A and B are shown apart, each in its own frame.
Chain A
Amino acid sequence: MMRRLICAVILASVSPIVSAQNAPFTPVGSIAVPGDMLRIDGGRAYLAAGNTLTILDISNPAAPKRAGAYELPDRIWGFSVKGSRAYMACDLHGVEILDVSNPAKVTRAGYYKTKGQAHSVDIFGKTALVADHMLGVVYLDISNEAKPVLLGSVFVEGYPRYVAVFGSLLYAVDSPAGFYVVDPAAAEPLDPLGAIQTADAGFGRVISIGMSDQSDTKGQKIAAVSGGRVLQIYDVSKPAAPVLLSTFATPGRGPRMAMKGRTAYVADNAQGIQVVDLSTPSKPRIVSSYKTAKPAIDVAVVDSLVYVVTGRDELLILRQAP
């Protein structure tokens, strides 16, 4: 009895925040904004919903402010932001490159019509990598961003859904089953460095890829992919031979996530934010969670701040205790 009481006191001292939560999160600020996907870059939050990109000034997390918005011609399936440029994958319309240096007056800096649906885009140097349903992973030379030039493409077996650059490599996911490691600096003929098909992965249209910040002492680098039936954890230490280490079902089966170090933050639908410890990647475990009032749709983590899109109409900013 005494031991239980001591434990309760200790737990209370390390979890001083919202009593209903079992995670050390403190709400810092929020703003009503239409949102489905979220990116954070340079003191701004970028939220895409339908055809609209909304830009928020989050330099003061306690009082996020709307800074501007831009209407695109087609549905935004995925996007990335690098400094003054936002790269938008807009369905059959293709890829738009936006100048977002002045969020109140966003302008088009370039455009490329993809052959199929553009679903996701990321940048490596002067190359835009696009998940295009028709060609696979498309390489665009954006040295002259006003006129992107097709360099080539990597075939993927299914429908390409998501691409993300981490360091010197590109990682791609297709629906329903493929996870690919690609050299974004390669020249024709373009083939993946490595690939793995997991028959029951069930990757859908909404995907996220997270990457461990660095290899651990054993040299193991891990990637986590959400958006399938369960979270998939891959060992990507050897790009030519990715290995599925484990799978993990969060209670809400949320399709989007962010990673910080070896911790995955899953936007877990009605289950809020689930924090999954991947330090033993063969045995992921939930270490904490935060129940949002509305379903958690997307999440980003920067330092101690956790940004959550909830209910497709709000950005919630949480501070995580160390």
Chain B
Amino acid sequence: MNRVAIVTAGIALFALQALAAADQWPQFRGLQAGVAADDPTLPDTWSETDNVAWKTPIPGLGWSSPVVWDDHIFLTAAISSGTEKPPVPGLYDDQGGHRSTAEHRWMLYDVDFTTGKIRWERELRRAVPSYPKHLKNSFASETPVTDGELVYVYFGSVGLIAALDMNGRTVWTKELPLFGTNRNGAEYGSAASPVLHKNRLYIVNDNLTQSFIAAFDAKTGAEIWRTSREEAGNWSSPYVWENDLRTEIVVEGAVKIRSYGLDGKLLWEIKGTPLTSPTPFAKLGLLFLNAGYPANIPRPVYAIRPGATGDISLKADQTTNDYIAWYQPLLGTYNTSALVYGDHYYTLLDRGFLLCHDARTGKEIYGRKRLSAEASGFTASPWAYNGKVFVMSEDGDTFVVQAGPEYKVLGKNSLNDMSMATPAIVRGSLILRTQGSLYRIARKQG
């Protein structure tokens, strides 16, 4: 009898935890790498006015994604006191970096999930930016992360980590060194988001001078370890991969893709590729690594099995090995992270093509399908629910594509404002950020 009670209680607890997890979107792309649980109340269609629960103007510029915990939506921005050249959609190689001489305020906002009102806002830094950025980047592109007790913010552009409680009280801050990131004289700014795992906050700071990954005590900000990285300028966020064998921290890199143990020691590595922005993720027992600047060859995608050690790079005549389940040399993307939904691996090319591969084997299901010749670049990562894949262009147009082996565009939802931030999906709502506003998109009741 006792055993039955314990088992029942265990099942109930597990169900509650699962429910709680599904109710939150605490980090970039959520806990399932852009996939939300099916929910018939989630919207398929919207516009600037249709299926909009609320729309809130957000001061400043920030391409960080919103994250959600209970009734709190957190997002960041940097507000210039001057007039800045606005970001321009589309794909281009920005050649110089854009320096601002105006004082900026680095902000964290807490927006009420129900009403859309800004519950509180905190200015975490006021300064003139030390380095330029790519025209399309912002000075607040790192997505915050939260555990429901504290929200953690990392502004790479000013080298600041801050932990605030849910009422906006600063619990701790940490200063990181600030270095340039680009070898060719053009500064693109920063973007790698912090990641939280079991009371530790992990930060990757790749730069020209002193690249590193570091672990901090999430409660106090104390640095636990720091490991140097032989890298110079990357924009990918780290990923904590909990697999059947161990938990490890995976970081893309131009020199090498590396995995570290929770003690910061190197576990395995693969030869990297220049300009890494996408974030690794795991599904179906595989880790997916993806990177590739259009003007580079190769642009690899790897599917990795757990348990690797040492250098697992492919030899010249190999396409697989003991730990690389499959490899595609030209499938990598510049900015968007890939999506695994069901059994399929979806690639959203920055130039507006969607491709589909078998996630387990890498076999092509369908090749490049152009979403629209009228679309500008794609930077936000794709997301999925209810048997549909959603991809949003920098114009703020979201194309709804049928999931599965047959490519079919089902519709397009326009917000007519530039967007590069990947949305949050929680409790029947899509929390979608454009250049000027934050939307809660939800089906109108009745």
Interface flag for A109 (CB, 8 Å): no
Please tell me which one of the listed residues A136, A150, A199 contacts residue B297 in the complex, with CB atoms under 8 A apart. A199
Which residues of A have CB within 8 Å of B92?
A: 91-92, 116-117, 133-134
| Contact of A92 with B297 in the complex, beta carbons under 8 Å | no
Which of B50-58, B152-160, B371-379, B403-411 contacts the other chain? B371-379
Write the residues of chain A forming the contact surface with B, with a CB cutoff of 8 angstroms. Answer: 91-92, 114-117, 133-136, 150, 152-153, 155, 157-159, 174-177, 197, 199, 205
Please report the C-alpha to C-alpha distance between residue A180 and residue B88 in the assembled complex, in whole angstroms.
Answer: 29
Point out residues on B near A: beta carbons under 8 Å.
88-93, 294-297, 330, 351-353, 368, 370, 373-377
**Is the Cβ of B373 less than 8 Å from the Cβ of A153?**
yes
> What is the chain B residue whose CB lies nearest that of A156?
B294
Q: Report the minimal beta-carbon distance from A293 to chain B, rounded to whole angstroms.
A: 29
Contacts of B296 in A (CB 8 A): 158, 176
Given contacts A134-B376, A152-B373, contact A92 B90 (CB under 8 A): yes
Given contacts A115-B376, A153-B373, contact A134 B90 (CB under 8 A): yes
B370 to chain A: closest CB distance in Å?
8
Q: Which 9 A-B pairs have the closest CB atoms?
A: A117-B92, A116-B91, A116-B90, A175-B295, A159-B295, A134-B91, A133-B91, A158-B295, A115-B90
CB distance from A138 to the nearest CB of B (A): 8
Q: How far is the CB of B296 from chain A (nearest CB, A)?
A: 6
Q: Could you tell me the distance in whole angstroms from the C-beta of B434 to the nearest C-beta in chain A?
A: 18
Task: Tell me the bound Cα distance from A112 to B60 in angstroms.
Answer: 31
- Majority-rule SS of A interface residues: loop
Considering the complex, give the chain A residue whose CB is closest to the CB of B88.
Answer: A92
B370 contacts which chain A residues (CB < 8 A)? 155
Cα distance A150–B91 in the bound complex, in angstroms: 18
Considering the chains assembled together, what is the distance between the CA atoms of A136 and B295 in angstroms? Answer: 12
In the complex the two chains form, what is the Cα distance from A153 to B372 in whole Å? 11
Listed residue (A115, A116, A153, A155) with the most chain B CB atoms within 10 angstroms of its CB: A115
| Alpha-carbon distance between A116 and B295 when the two chains are bound, in angstroms | 14
CA distance A114 to B91 in the complex (A): 10
- Distance A153 CA – B371 CA, assembled complex (angstroms): 13
Min CB gap A115→B, angstroms:
5
21 contacts between A and B (CB under 8 A): A115-B90, A115-B374, A116-B376, A116-B377, A117-B91, A117-B93, A133-B90, A133-B294, A134-B91, A134-B92, A134-B351, A134-B352, A135-B351, A150-B374, A153-B373, A157-B297, A174-B295, A176-B295, A176-B296, A197-B297, A199-B297
B residues in contact with A117, CB < 8 Å = 90-93
Known: A92-B88, A134-B90, A176-B297. A157 touches B330 (CB 8 A): yes
Contact residues in A for B373 (Cβ distance below 8 Å): 135, 150, 152-153
B376–A133 touching, CB < 8 Å = no
- CA distance in complex: A116, B353 (Å): 15
A174→B376 CA distance, assembly (Å): 19
How far in angstroms is the closest Cβ of chain B from A319? Answer: 38
Distance A92 CA – B134 CA, assembled complex (angstroms): 14
Residues of chain B lying within 8 A (CB to CB) of residue A135 = 351-352, 373
B273 vs chain A, min Cβ distance (A):
12
Q: In the complex the two chains form, is B375's CB within 8 Å of A159's CB? A: no
B321 CB → nearest A CB, Å: 21
Could you say which residues of chain A place their CB within 8 Å of the CB of B368?
155
Complex contact A177–B297 (CB within 8 A): yes
Residues from chain A with a CB closer than 8 A to the CB of B353 are 155
Q: Which residues of A contact B374 (CB under 8 A)?
A: 115, 150
Residues of A within 8 A of B377 (CB): 115-116, 134
- Docked complex Cα distance between A16 and B323 (Å): 69
Most chain-B CB neighbours within 10 Å: which of A135, A136, A177?
Answer: A135
With A and B bound together, what is the CA distance between A228 and B330 in angstroms? 21
Give the residues in chain A near B375, CB-CB below 8 Å.
115
